[in-house]
Amino acid sequence: MKHVFILSALLIMSATALAQLTIEITQGVDDPTKIAVVPIERADGVSMPEDISAIITANLERSGLFEAIPRGNMLAFPRSETEVHFRDWRVLGSEYVLVGEVTEDAGIYRVAYELFDVLGERRIMRRQVVEGSEGQLRTIAHNISDRVYETLTGIRGAFDTQIIYVEVERHDDGTDTFRLMRADADGARPVLLLESSEPILSPVWSPDGRQVAYVSFETTRPAVFVQNLATGEREQVTDFLGLNGSPAWSPDGRHLAVVLSKDGNPEIYTLELATKRMTRVTNHFAIDTEPSWTHDGKGIIFTSNRGGRPQVYRVDLASKRVERLTFQGNYNARGRLTPDGESMVMVHHRDGTFNIAVQELDTGTLRLLTETHLDESPSVAPNGAMLIYSTRYRGRGVLAVVSLDAGTRYYLPSERGEVREPAWSPFFD
C-alpha cells in the first residue's frame, strides 16, 4: 500500500501551515470602471481580524473590469447614505462607491453595506446585511463582491466559489509529494484533501459541490476515487486492469464518465454510481479520452485521434452517433462547454505551442485566449466569465486565469512546489 493521507473536514488544521496561492495580475481591460470601496470597519473602532474592504477590492480588480480608488486618496470614509457626499467622489473620478460598517455581538459579525452611483447621485443597492462568525468574514467579503459585481455588470459573481488543484513538491532526494488541495477562488484558505507519494490526476467537482472525483496511483494501477468533502470519506469506484482515468460527472451527479482500457484500447464508459453499472459509450480502434458531459446529460464531448490526430468529438448517448466538433489546427483536446452551452474551451496547438482557445459551436469560430506555452487543463468558472488553467511561468508550473474575452489575465503561483490540474467549483447554492 502506498503512503496516502486524508484530511477530513471534521479535523482542525491551521490553513497557515499550508502553501497558499498568490495572485499576480498581468492584464486588465483598457478602460476599467472606477469604484471606491470605503473601509468597512467596526463602528466601535475595534480592529477587525479580516480586512473586508481589501478582499472586496482585490476581487473586483482581479476581474479586470474595475479599478479601485486607493484608500490614501479618499477624502472621507462614510459608513452610510447620510455620510456620502458625491462631490468628494466625483473629484477622485470614482463612478461608484461602496460603504458599510460592522457590528459584533457574542462572536457574530453583522456587516451592513450599500452601493451608490456617483454620477447619478443615487443609491443603486439598498442597505444589505450579512452576518457570520470570525471564520466566515472572508466568505462574507466574497459574497459582497458577488453582489456588487452582479449589480454593475449583470453577470453573477463567482468570487464566493472555490477551486481544487494538485500541488507537487519535489524533495532533495528526487521524490515527489502530491497533494490534492481545495482553496477559495482567489487561492486563499487552502485545505488539504489528500496527500500521497504517488501521482494524483484529473480532479473534478460534483455538480452540487459536495464531492470530488480524481485519479490516484496509490494502488498497483491508476484508479478513480470519489471523496466526500464534508467528511473526507472516499470510495474507489474503478479497479480494472489497464487505464482508469479522466472522470467527469453527469449534470445530475448520478453518473461518472470515465476512460478505461479494460477491453483493449482506451474507450469512454459511463458508471452509474448507485448500482456500479458500467456502460460502454465509444467503440473504436482509436484512443478516446477526456470526456465531459453536455449540459442536458444526453451527450458526451471527448478527445479522439480517430481522424489521425487529436480532435474533439461529441457522441449522442442514445444513438451512439459521433460528430466531430473541431477542424482548425492539427490538435484540439480536452473540450469543456461554457455554462451557456454556446461555446467550448479546449487546448489548441498552433505554431508549436499549446494554448487555450474558445470555439463557438454554431459558427465554428475559434479564438486563442492565452499567449503562454504548454497551457493545459482548462476549467470554466460557473458564471462563464473566466477560466482557470495550468501553464509554465518563470520556469514553474502555475495556475493562470483568463477572461473569456481574453481581456483579463492573472497568475496563481504556489508558495511551495508546482501546481497543476485545476478545476473550478460550481455555485454552492
Of the residues 134, 153, 172, the one at which a domain ends: 153
| CA–CA distance, 367 with 405 (Å, rounded to integer) | 9
pLDDT in tens, 371-424: 888 899 999 999 999 999 999 988 889 999 999 987 889 999 888 889 999 999
pLDDT in tens, 121-171: 999 999 999 999 999 999 999 999 999 999 999 999 999 999 999 999 989
80 and 229 together in one domain: no
134 and 224 together in one domain: no
Structural domains of the chain, count: 2
245 and 362 together in one domain: yes
| CA–CA distance, 146 with 135 (Å, rounded to integer) | 19
Q: Provide the pLDDT for residue 414.
A: 87
401 and 297 together in one domain: yes
In a domain, 4, yes or no: no
| CA–CA distance, 333 with 232 (Å, rounded to integer) | 32
CATH number at residue 137: 3.40.50.10070
Of the residues 104, 122, 153, the one at which a domain ends: 153
Of the residues 101, 126, 153, the one at which a domain ends: 153
226 and 333 together in one domain: yes
pLDDT in tens, 302-329: 999 999 999 999 999 999 999 999 999 8
In a domain, 145, yes or no: yes
In a domain, 17, yes or no: no
147 and 170 together in one domain: no
Q: What is the share, in percent, of the chain residues with pLDDT greater than 70?
A: 96
In a domain, 6, yes or no: no
294 and 416 together in one domain: yes
Q: How many CB atoms lie within 10 A of CB 375?
A: 23
In a domain, 20, yes or no: no
256 and 376 together in one domain: yes
40 and 149 together in one domain: yes
CATH number at residue 379: 2.120.10.30
In a domain, 9, yes or no: no
| CA–CA distance, 239 with 245 (Å, rounded to integer) | 11
In a domain, 13, yes or no: no
pLDDT in tens, 250-296: 999 999 999 999 988 999 999 999 999 999 999 999 999 999 999 99
120 and 168 together in one domain: no
177 and 229 together in one domain: yes
167 and 148 together in one domain: no
Range of the domain at 371: 163-424
In a domain, 11, yes or no: no
